[in-house]
Structure formats: structure tokens, C-alpha cells
Amino acid sequence: MSQSIHFACTISCSSQCCGGATILTLPELKHLYTFFPISIGFRKISPVNDYHREYLKEITFQHGNSFINGDFIGGNRFKRKCRFLKNSLCLLHEKPKPLQCRVVPFSVTFPEDYQHMVIKERRKGAFRNCEGFKDNHPIAWDGAFKEQKLKEEFDELRKNLSLQRDFMENLFLTLHKSEKRADPRIRDGMFLEMPIPHEFIYELCERADIDRNNFLRVQKELFIKELGQGSEKDFVFIEGLRILEIALKN
């Protein structure tokens, strides 16, 4: 049986996959930090076999027997729709649209030749009613991506995750040792989100080539705006705003 994946975004159902938050990477922050309030997210990924395990070693870090993926999270994951989705259209489409959004519905946490596994699971969840999967749509994947642009964006996202791997591992280990420790026993499907710690903001801005003071001012404005829009006032945004205000005074 063919495992070919026919897919073309139909836009009309974009609100189903364009949730309130998206994954960003360190190289992308320079162009996207003015658009999204940014936090840190960690998730455990379980390899399906030895081949997948070797692949994960390039983009995730190991803590004990767990493979942990660390991401920059742009937006508010408690919201159902992305702040830049209007009338089912992405307002960032002609701007520096996040790589994660460009490779939807595929996932870089699995090798390119394992994307049929990704789609099989996603079609059971958020993509269950996606109109993009139809036999009359072009073949997007058939053991490998059919479009060169999609392959290049997938590879770039994979490379970016590899570049920030050490940053995320150091951050995770620092939090694990502190009072607000990150639980290394993150279970499959569990998501651990937190603000960017004060002591890592300088390194983040340096590595992403961002002016630190401007980053702090812009992020503070975005966090205040998020908290003022009736959003769920959870720890991430309240504590994140406190951290930003302290950093601005130093």
C-alpha cells in the first residue's frame, strides 16, 4: 500500500492548526521577537526505534533516559487561534513566517522519511477535519518531500533546533537545580512551559544578534498586552513580566 501523502493547505480550515502559540527557533528570534511574547517550552519525545533515536540526538538533549526537546514558544498556547490569523489568512505570510508554520502539517521531530507516522497520528487529533488531505491534491511526501522548498524549510528548522540544543540543555539543567526545577520525568504528551530566566536573556540576545534593551522593552509591551486581553493569567505571563521588569532595571 502506498504511503504517499497528498496535501495542500486550503486556508479555510487554518484555524484548526494555527493555534495560539507556535514554535520559534533561536535564529528566527531576531525577526520575530517583535511579533510574539516569547517563553520556553520543553517536551519529552520517545524514539520509535534506534534510527529515530540517533536522529533525535542531533536536535534534542538527553536527561537520564529521556530525550527532551526545547523550544522558544511564540504567543499564548491557551488561545485557540494565532494572533496573526485573520479571516483564515496569515498576516505574516509575506513576512518572516515561522519555519514551524511553513512545514505544517509535518514535524521535524521525526526524520523526513518517517513523516507518514507523523501524519497518521495528527489526523487522529487536530488535523482530523483538515481539508488539505485529499487524493486530488498534489503529493507532498512519498518517502521524501516532493517540493524542494518544503525540504529546504524542513532542513533549516532541523538545523536551527540543533544550533539551540546546547542553550536549551543548559537552561533546563539550571532550572532543574533551582527551586523552580524542571521535572526530568516529563511524560509523553506533557508540556512544560516557563518564562525565559533572567540569567539567560543576555546570552539569548547575544546569540540571536538582538539589542538586549529593545528586546526587553518590546517583550514587556507584548506581555502586558497579552495579560490585558482577558487571557488566562497563568504563571508564564505573570512571572515573565516580572522577570522583564527586573531585567530592565539592571
pLDDT for 199-212, tens place per residue? 999 999 999 999 99
When pLDDT is cut at 50, 70 and 90, the band that residue 182 belongs to is very low
Per-residue model confidence (pLDDT) at position 181 = 47
Per-residue model confidence (pLDDT) at position 3 = 83
d(CA 211, CA 205): 6
d(CA 107, CA 238): 30
Tell me the whole-structure pTM to 2 decimals. 0.90
189 compared with 17, residue with greater pLDDT: 17
d(CA 109, CA 52): 9
The number of angstroms, rounded, from the C-alpha of 207 to the middle of its chain's C-alpha atoms is 18
Per-residue model confidence (pLDDT) at position 154 = 98
Q: What value, to the nearest 5°, has the Cα angle with vertex 145 and ends 128 and 45? A: 60
Mean pLDDT of the chain: 89
CB 29 within 8 A of CB 209: no
14 DSSP 8-state letter: G
d(CA 158, CA 138): 24
Work out the widest C-alpha separation in the chain, in whole angstroms: 62
When pLDDT is cut at 50, 70 and 90, the band that residue 167 belongs to is very high
Residue 42: closest CA among 203, 168, 178, 208: 168
Rg (Cα) of the chain, in Å, rounded?
18
